Amino acid sequence: MRRGFAQNSFVSRLHHRTGSLKAQGTPLIPLKGPQLLDVALDSLPENDGGLDDDVLIDNTCGSAANLVRHSDMTTATDDKTTLPAPVVHSKPSHSSIRKDPRDFESDDSSKMINIRRFLMEEIDGAQASAPLSAYCFMTGFVDAVCFSAIFVWCAFQTGNTVQLSLAIVRLFNGQHDYSFHLADQQAFCSVLSFIFGAFIGRLGDKIGCKTRAWMSLGTFIQTVFTMVAALTIWKSGQGSVADARDDPAWSNALSFVCIGFMSASMGLQGIMGKRLNTQFTTTVVLTTTWCELMTEPKLFSFRRLVASRDHKVMAILALFIGGFTGRALLDKIGSAGTLGIGTGFRLLITLWWFFVPQKQAKN
């Protein structure tokens, strides 16, 4: 009975405290976490029934433990019932997917810089034996077409120069021949056109005579000249092979245009080959090449490669093969078709220069 009386007394005190908390506006169950009560436990009225202190303390501790347990359960319930913050999945907008135009400009500028650097690199003449041999091949190829038709050289201007000197001599001999013969006119046209083509080659000094850009551009100009020569001789309707020296196959105005463009292409080729300063020299004149080959100190050193000797031999053989090929095609397809094939050869040489290695700087 004593214990039941103590419990009733504690319940009455708890009601008293609850009423005081309501009057003060303090919530009985906190929303988040345990809250401290404004009313201290020692302010509660003392036991009127004279209960034992042990019983009171026991009941008080039990009730306090129940309150703490209830508060923890409430907090846990609040934590469980509280929904987490919604996760927002941000979708990439079109503006974020699109690349900044400035990035494209930066990429384009870097590509242009790399291309310009590649084109302005100086090529290694020592490793350009293949395209230079092709130059010599084109010398024999074009000269075969021209000489077979009119007995005038487009590349070997030594003979044309001597022919013009003989034409001048006729003015002072006993007959006083003042006529300008057709063969002399054609030789004069070839010389002037060759000089014009060589003068175009001086533009390479402004760009860089050994750069990949100029070697490709200059060869492409030669390609255009050869193509124009093929078109003009095709439109002229003239033959391809002369029967006699005094009866050339070409005689009309369009044939003179063809001679001019063929000679200009050879003049440009000559100065471009000379600027590289290799054993191939100008690629259009072999008289000097023959002389240098005969004076080569290691001419008979057959057991090893000698660049100064071997490159000269390559130039001579390439020119010989070019002349043979040009005349063989001439008999089959005529001057226009042969020059058309020559145009294709020159275009291949134009592309060939892009694959020549860069000249390495000496340490």
Comparing CA positions, the residue from 315, 291, 339, 332 lying closest to residue 154 is 339
Task: Choose one of 80, 110, 135: the last residue of a domain.
Answer: 80
263 close to 142: Cβ distance less than 8 angstroms: no
Judged on CB neighbours under 10 Å (0-12, 13-18, 19+), 323 is buried
Report if residue 86 sits inside a domain: no
CATH number of the domain at 151, please: 1.20.1250
Report if residue 172 sits inside a domain: yes
Amino acid occupying residue 250? W
Angstrom distance (rounded) from CA 107 to CA 263: 44
Report if residue 100 sits inside a domain: no
72 shares a domain with 7:
yes
**C-alpha distance from residue 359 to each of 193, 211, 220, 234, 356 (Å):** 33, 10, 22, 42, 9
Q: Which domain holds residue 241?
A: 122-355
**C-alpha distance from residue 311 to each of 39, 206, 306, 326, 342 (Å):** 113, 28, 8, 22, 23
> How high is the mean pLDDT in each 10-residue block of the chain (363 residues)?
50 56 54 46 45 45 47 49 54 54 72 91 93 97 96 93 92 81 94 96 92 96 97 95 90 96 97 93 91 92 90 96 96 96 97 93 70
Angstrom distance (rounded) from CA 112 to CA 118: 10
274 shares a domain with 149:
yes
Beta carbons within 10 angstroms of residue 30's beta carbon: 14
261 shares a domain with 134:
yes
Comparing CA positions, the residue from 255, 261, 259, 225 lying closest to residue 347 is 225
pTM of the model: 0.70
Comparing CA positions, the residue from 120, 310, 336 lying closest to residue 209 is 120
Amino acid occupying residue 133? S
70 shares a domain with 147:
no
Q: Which pair of tokens denotes residue 358? A: 């860069």
| Predicted local confidence at residue 67, as pLDDT | 43
194 shares a domain with 69:
no
Angstrom distance (rounded) from CA 293 to CA 314: 11
136 shares a domain with 58:
no
- The enclosing H or E element of 267 equals helix 253-276
| Predicted local confidence at residue 107, as pLDDT | 75
Task: Choose one of 27, 61, 80: the last residue of a domain.
Answer: 80
| Predicted local confidence at residue 109, as pLDDT | 84
127 shares a domain with 70:
no
Report if residue 270 sits inside a domain: yes
Structural domains of the chain, count: 2
Residue 244 β-bridge partners: 247
Report if residue 361 sits inside a domain: no
| Predicted local confidence at residue 233, as pLDDT | 96
Report if residue 110 sits inside a domain: no
| Predicted local confidence at residue 320, as pLDDT | 97
| Predicted local confidence at residue 26, as pLDDT | 54
| Predicted local confidence at residue 334, as pLDDT | 95
| Predicted local confidence at residue 331, as pLDDT | 93
Report if residue 15 sits inside a domain: yes
144 shares a domain with 28:
no
188 shares a domain with 44:
no
258 shares a domain with 139:
yes
Report if residue 304 sits inside a domain: yes
141 shares a domain with 53:
no
